[in-house]
Amino acid sequence: MIARVTLEIAVRKEFDYSVPADLADRIEVGTRVKIPFGPRLVMGVVTAVVETSPHTNLRSIASVVGISGMLTPRVLDLARWMAGYYCCPVEVALKSVLPDSVRKEGAKWRERLHVLVLPVMGEMPKLTARQREVWNILEEWRELPLQELLALAETTLETVRRLEDKGLVRVAPKVDERDPYAREEILPSQALKMNPEQDHALAAIQGAMDRMAAKPARERSAEKPAAMGDEMVPPLLLHGVTGSGKTEVYLQAIAVALERGLGAIVLVPEISLTPQTVERFKARFSSGPKGTLVAVLHSHLSAGERHDEWHKIRQGRARIVIGARSAVFAPVDRLGLIVVDEEHEHSYKQEEAPRYHARDVAVVRGARERAVVVLGSATPSVESYHNAKRGKYSLLEMPSRATDQKLPLVRVVDLRVDSRRGEKGTPGVFSEPLKDGIHRRLEKGEQTILFLNRRGYSSSLQCPKCGYVAGCPNCSVSLTYHRALQRLMCHICGHSAAAPVRCPQEGCGDGAIRYTGLGTERVEETLLKLFPKARVARMDRDTLKKKEDYRRILTEFRTGRIDILVGTQMIAKGLHFPNVTLVGVLYADLSLHVPDFRAGERTFQLLTQVSGRAGRGDVEGEVFVQSFTPFHPAIQFARRHDYAGFFEAEVEFREQLKYPPFSRIALLTLKGRNEDKVKLSAEHVRKQLDLRVGSWPGLVLAGPAPAPLVKAETFYRYQIMIRCRAMSRMSRALAELEATLKLPEDVHLVIDIDPVNLV
């Protein structure tokens, strides 16, 4: 027997190894093994078991690592697809489908010594007073972890051992599952009676499940590997405004899957994976007749917790998985449903190799495993909505809020008018209408959320005399002033320096240096000046130092101990506070000025999400959007809650300029510390591209050009953008190009397929 093995060190090749007889029954596709490679032993994964090999003198597998079959053939298959599509070595793809905590050689369940009471045979042996005390406690508990018993009984191991000698108890190691939510008390919830729109959506999902189940087995196995974008897939797109009850639809769809013996994966952006969200799923499924474990996978769990959650899924005990991006690889057997909530979120894209997009992987996985995929969003990505419009997905619309609340009234405030009134051309932080709005909320005891997507005090330090701007030595951005720390900081690389009192430019030294631009820290300060009695809290990366801070601030806000919450995008999404009746967006233009063709889309999404925080209770909500470009379509359509209108305008622009969804993009970035070398290398890559793919129909090659962020973390960056009709063929061509490309040692090429970040 011969095993074909992919090594975890990146060599982009597979090697054949002979299987020693004593390991034969433990080796199968997906088994992780240790193998000799050169003088070392390295880790690898068995990708095939074959009878013969073209090579002779095969070396033998040294050992099997962990339990066998950690990687199911299906997940392995998905990893291979990912490697091909996203142009990365199979080894790299394999690493991301198994969490580190599971993959590590020593990873295992936590075992602790437990003391177990044995049935008393015959007469009760004589005990000392000390032993009797311990025995009394044990009789009540029947079983306890040794450490807990020792603490509880204030006794020593010695005494427990005496009881063991007398045959009363047994001390033995036992697996102790780590449950990250063990301390939460979760009350079970019942399915809600749904409104007609929800019923319609659920029926459509159920119908799709029926069609999947009816697909004959023959057709299933013959299914050719799906190539993204080319195949027809039966997933669905659920477009429902915030608060329309999408989550309730997901919950009931999962219940349907469970009844059919199928499992489900729910993907949620990391930022929305709050205890609140997890609780909603646990409350519905963790108790009662359907009682199944809900496993949670995300980066805030400890390695041990992640290990245990993963194995609960692998063993089939947890049939429902909620998690961030990488949960799309969860080893759920007989998968019936994948939900991708907030499918437009860019955090689904991994920004390091493999640069996969979890939503797209979900669609591919669904097609391969005949699972229904539901993409949900209040503001679907232009790509997904386009796919739905042309019939690739079925479109389900839920245009009104589940509880009959109205969507908030959105007013746009023209900052140009306001700044003419303001002092010396610099606009005030708060326009008059917004100030007035906050004032009224404070009087009525209602709450306000203020949103600004920039932390710190001010975004740059400028000398009005010589024009000096404090920039980062490592990156091509200006430094942000953080007043509380009295420091200038770079938000790209973290560089920080003491804030100067005079202009640091040689020969200038003027004392009139100015801080311009607005950050959340300054918003908070201004608020306290304007409304000295208001209770204000700020939520951004600077104020969240500890894991609990996030929760603590939100609890204080929920219980009314805070009147005004100021924050960055971490408060834009998912939060549900019925007493919030006013939302202010301080500077809507911030996301419009990003040099990215999706800037308009992102602004529309952000405004819609933030607005959705207002008026979730009995009182209608009001939203003020402050902007210098009040007539920009992204702002105007968001004001009218008009997604369809925005989409129509946006696709027109995308089609003209051949941007997605009318093309697919591959972004090549060359990085290095020597700018000339980077530039020359980029020109070389462009020449190679012209030779290899230059004649393809419908292809647009742009660049090389300096990236918008030309220098980041001391690396210069040059880009080439490829726009093409279909990606699979391009991915193959790029992998070939990369394999033969000769670049200077200190210049690197990064290939990003379907990038979401062009900066």
**CB of 5 or CB of 477, closer to Zn ion:** 477
Query: Least distance from C-beta 436 to ligand ADP, angstroms?
Result: 29
Instruction: Choose the contact partner of 360 out of ligand ADP, Zn ion, none; CB within 5 to 8 A by kind.
Output: none
Provide the token pair at 419: 């700044």
Window 393-412: contact mask with ligand ADP (x via CB under 6 A) = ---------xx---------
Instruction: Choose the contact partner of 407 out of ligand ADP, Zn ion, none; CB within 5 to 8 A by kind.
Output: none
Please state, in angstroms and rounded to a whole number, the distance separating the CA atoms of residues 704 and 722.
10
Instruction: Choose the contact partner of 495 out of Zn ion, ligand ADP, none; CB within 5 to 8 A by kind.
Output: Zn ion
Q: Closest Cα to residue 259, out of 213, 327, 220? A: 213
# of chain residues touching Zn ion (CB under 5 A): 7
In 146-185, which ranges are E strands?
Answer: 169-175
Contact 398, 244 (CB under 8 A): yes
Window 413-452: contact mask with Zn ion (x via CB under 5 A) = ----------------------------------------
Sheet of strand 715-724: strand arrangement = 700-712, 715-724, 664-672, 747-753
Window 241-260: contact mask with ligand ADP (x via CB under 6 A) = -xxxxxxx------------
Provide the token pair at 226: 């799906």
- Sign (positive or negative) of CA dihedral 573, 578, 581, 582: negative
**Helix, strand or coil for residue 170?**
strand
Q: Are strands 143-145 and 40-50 parallel, antiparallel or unpaired?
A: unpaired
Q: Which helix (H) or strand (E) holds 752?
A: strand 747-753
**CB of 476 or CB of 569, closer to Zn ion:** 476
# of chain residues touching ligand ADP (CB under 6 A): 15
Q: Is 496 in the site for Zn ion (CB under 5 A)?
A: no
Instruction: Choose the contact partner of 245 out of ligand ADP, Zn ion, none; CB within 5 to 8 A by kind.
Output: ligand ADP
Contact 163, 116 (CB under 8 A): no
Q: Which helix (H) or strand (E) holds 207?
A: helix 196-214
Q: Is 5 in the site for Zn ion (CB under 5 A)?
A: no
Other residues' Cβ atoms within 10 Å of the Cβ of residue 468: 18
Q: Is 493 in the site for Zn ion (CB under 5 A)?
A: yes
**CB of 248 or CB of 542, closer to ligand ADP:** 248
Other residues' Cβ atoms within 10 Å of the Cβ of residue 350: 16
Q: Is 240 in the site for ligand ADP (CB under 6 A)?
A: yes
**Helix, strand or coil for residue 341?**
strand
Give the interface segment with ligand ADP, choosing from 189-197, 356-364, 644-652, 732-740 (CB under 6 A): 189-197
Q: Is 488 in the site for Zn ion (CB under 5 A)?
A: no
**CB of 314 or CB of 401, closer to ligand ADP:** 401
Give the interface segment with ligand ADP, choosing from 240-248, 523-531, 647-655, 671-679 (CB under 6 A): 240-248
Q: Is 487 in the site for Zn ion (CB under 5 A)?
A: no
Determine the residue type at 265: I
Q: Are strands 487-489 and 480-482 parallel, antiparallel or unpaired?
A: antiparallel
**CA dist list (Å): 174 to 114, 226, 359:** 6, 44, 39
**CB of 30 or CB of 245, closer to ligand ADP:** 245
What residues contact 417, with CB distance under 8 A and at least 6 apart? Answer: none
Please state, in angstroms and rounded to a whole number, the distance separating the CA atoms of residues 495 and 502.
20
**CB of 31 or CB of 247, closer to ligand ADP:** 247
Please state, in angstroms and rounded to a whole number, the distance separating the CA atoms of residues 654 and 662.
7
**CB of 189 or CB of 569, closer to ligand ADP:** 189
Query: Least distance from C-beta 199 to ligand ADP, angstroms?
Result: 9
Of 462-481, binders to Zn ion (CB under 5 A) are 472, 474-475
Query: Least distance from C-beta 311 to Zn ion, angstroms?
Result: 41
Determine the residue type at 511: G
**CB of 252 or CB of 431, closer to ligand ADP:** 252
Please state, in angstroms and rounded to a whole number, the distance separating the CA atoms of residues 182 and 497.
43
Please state, in angstroms and rounded to a whole number, the distance separating the CA atoms of residues 216 and 459.
60
Q: Is 497 in the site for Zn ion (CB under 5 A)?
A: no
Of 196-235, binders to ligand ADP (CB under 6 A) are 198
Window 360-399: contact mask with ligand ADP (x via CB under 6 A) = ----------------------------------------
Query: Least distance from C-beta 710 to Zn ion, angstroms?
Result: 12
Query: Least distance from C-beta 635 to ligand ADP, angstroms?
Result: 22
Please state, in angstroms and rounded to a whole number, the distance separating the CA atoms of residues 244 and 227.
33
Please state, in angstroms and rounded to a whole number, the distance separating the CA atoms of residues 397 and 39.
61
Chosen residue from 334, 411, 435, 495 binding Zn ion by CB under 5 A = 495
Instruction: Choose the contact partner of 247 out of ligand ADP, Zn ion, none; CB within 5 to 8 A by kind.
Output: ligand ADP
Query: Least distance from C-beta 251 to ligand ADP, angstroms?
Result: 8
Residue for token pair 């939460």: 184
Q: Is 188 in the site for ligand ADP (CB under 6 A)?
A: no
Instruction: Choose the contact partner of 490 out of Zn ion, ligand ADP, none; CB within 5 to 8 A by kind.
Output: Zn ion
Please state, in angstroms and rounded to a whole number, the distance separating the CA atoms of residues 253 and 549.
34
**CB of 557 or CB of 715, closer to ligand ADP:** 557
Instruction: Choose the contact partner of 244 out of ligand ADP, Zn ion, none; CB within 5 to 8 A by kind.
Output: ligand ADP
**CA dist list (Å): 550 to 389, 545, 557:** 39, 9, 11
**CB of 18 or CB of 195, closer to ligand ADP:** 195
Instruction: Choose the contact partner of 441 out of Zn ion, ligand ADP, none; CB within 5 to 8 A by kind.
Output: none
Instruction: Choose the contact partner of 492 out of Zn ion, ligand ADP, none; CB within 5 to 8 A by kind.
Output: Zn ion
Query: Least distance from C-beta 609 to ligand ADP, angstroms?
Result: 10
Q: Is 194 in the site for ligand ADP (CB under 6 A)?
A: yes
Query: Least distance from C-beta 426 to ligand ADP, angstroms?
Result: 38
Query: Least distance from C-beta 488 to ligand ADP, angstroms?
Result: 40
| Angle made by CA atoms 256, 258, 261, in degrees to the nearest 5 | 115
Instruction: Choose the contact partner of 383 out of Zn ion, ligand ADP, none; CB within 5 to 8 A by kind.
Output: none
Q: Which residues of 322-344 are buried (b: 16+ CB within 10 A; e: fewer)?
A: bbbbbbbbbbbeebbbbbbbbbb
Please state, in angstroms and rounded to a whole number, the distance separating the CA atoms of residues 362 and 37.
35
Beta-bridge partner residues of 377: 239
Q: Is 490 in the site for Zn ion (CB under 5 A)?
A: yes
Give the interface segment with ligand ADP, choosing from 14-22, 193-201, 210-218, 598-606 (CB under 6 A): 193-201
Give the interface segment with Zn ion, choosing from 237-245, 347-355, 484-492, 616-624 (CB under 5 A): 484-492
Beta-bridge partner residues of 317: none
Write the secondary structure of 27-75 as one string of H (helix), E (strand) and C (coil): CCCCCEEEEEECCEEEEEEEEEEECCCCCCCCCECCEEECCCCCCCHHH
Query: Least distance from C-beta 401 to ligand ADP, angstroms?
Result: 7
Residue for token pair 């009182």: 619
Please state, in angstroms and rounded to a whole number, the distance separating the CA atoms of residues 557 and 336.
38
Contact 409, 621 (CB under 8 A): yes
**CB of 162 or CB of 280, closer to ligand ADP:** 280
Please state, in angstroms and rounded to a whole number, the distance separating the CA atoms of residues 305 and 244.
33
Instruction: Choose the contact partner of 493 out of ligand ADP, Zn ion, none; CB within 5 to 8 A by kind.
Output: Zn ion
Give the interface segment with Zn ion, choosing from 87-95, 177-185, 483-491, 585-593 (CB under 5 A): 483-491
Report the interface residues with Zn ion, using CB under 5 A: 472, 474-475, 490, 492-493, 495
Report the interface residues with ligand ADP, using CB under 6 A: 192-195, 198, 240, 242-248, 402-403
